[in-house]
Amino acid sequence: MKKLPLEGVRVLDISQVMAGPYACMLLADLGADVIKIEPPGGGDQTRGAMGFKMKGPDSLGFLNMNRNKRSVTLNLKSKAGREVLLRLVKDADILLENYRPGAMKRLGLGYEAVKEINPRLVYTSISGFGQTGPWADRPGFDLMAQAMSGVMSVTGYPDGPPVKAGVPVADIGCALFAVYATLSAYIGAKSSGQGQHVDASLFDSALAFSVWDICDYWGTGKEPEPLGTSNKMTAPYQAMACSDGYFVMGANNQKLWLQLCKLMGREELLADERFSTISLRLANRHALELELEKSFRLKPKDYWVSLFLEAGIPAGPILTYPEAFGSEHAKAREMRMEIDHPIEGKAPNIGFAVKLSGTPQQVRRHPPLLGEHTDEVLAELGIDAAGRAGLQAQGAFSI
């Protein structure tokens, strides 16, 4: 087996819940030695999340965001706990934290302090609204980022109540942006010897997804509105009603529009001035939808999807998550895998979202039990049993 790309890179994961742990798991999947620093007692809040119980104390959500890591419990409110962390910092390459802005600094663990110990350290902070700005001190979760970034304003249907995206776009988006920036800073530090502070926020990440909507506003001055499943750039490109439900299709250029009308036997639509160009079809989107659904409602979705795909027109069914993960394609892409776990036996995990041909990601470690690797990591620091007992007496590993 080839050496993984990030083998030898040490990451200190001082984060909880989603964006931070997910970002660190991506680094771990590529070979990084990720040491998850958790508070004594309950550990990462996500261990006790979700509305159902597993065999052990950890939620399935935790198990899906923390594979390939080692867990160390440290009370960072204690001087002894902070001293252990600073010893870990000395040989670390990356530290990622998601405390409220200013909290790590108050503990004496902010970037300015730790870079004195390790100048090449890349120190990544994830927060709701960033380390600076009028909203920096606000607590921030995915819902707030979606609401305050504008994402919710364009989600749902016109005149409907507020709707959030069904998946945590700000959390996952921030994790991905944080990984790209962190690795870029790490590569830079390899040659310069100087690390830097990476400031990633859910708010900024959600704003970064606004490309089409904000460009439309900047260009026209018209405030973007929710469009349901439709698209502001082209039409028809949306979900359509048929005889047994809905399916999605996209005749999103003039060539496909001509082909669609002929394939459906609706050539009269080509002569309808309302639909002659993309701009006119957008302006008359609702009328276009009604016209097309007159035909679509005569046949089931499988008929239309097969017909369009054979003709090269993009189309697909609307699947539930069980249907999507159970599909032959998801199985071929290995998007569900089973991880061996000391308590759960087999724990289902979402598969690797990108595939590397030469150095594919590996599951090297099960999601760790709380504090499972504390003794192991202390031994690597040269702290023996007597030293551990002394630290324990000083509150390094307890509340």
Write out the catalytic residue numbers.
171
Residue pointed to by tokens 């036996």: 345
Measured distance between the N- and C-terminal CA atoms of the chain, rounded to whole angstroms: 42
Sign of CA dihedral 225, 228, 229, 235: negative
Structure-block tokens of residue 64: 């899906």
Cα–Cα dist 398/222, whole Å: 56
The two tokens of residue 301 are: 């979705």
Q: In the structure encoding, which two tokens stand for residue 167, read together?
A: 């998946």
Phi/psi of residue 290, each to 5°?
-65, -40
Cα 43 to Cα 167: distance, rounded to the nearest angstrom: 25
CA distance to 24, 189, 245, 269, 319, per residue, from 112 (Å)? 22, 16, 58, 66, 49
Cβ–Cβ < 8 Å for 65, 349: no
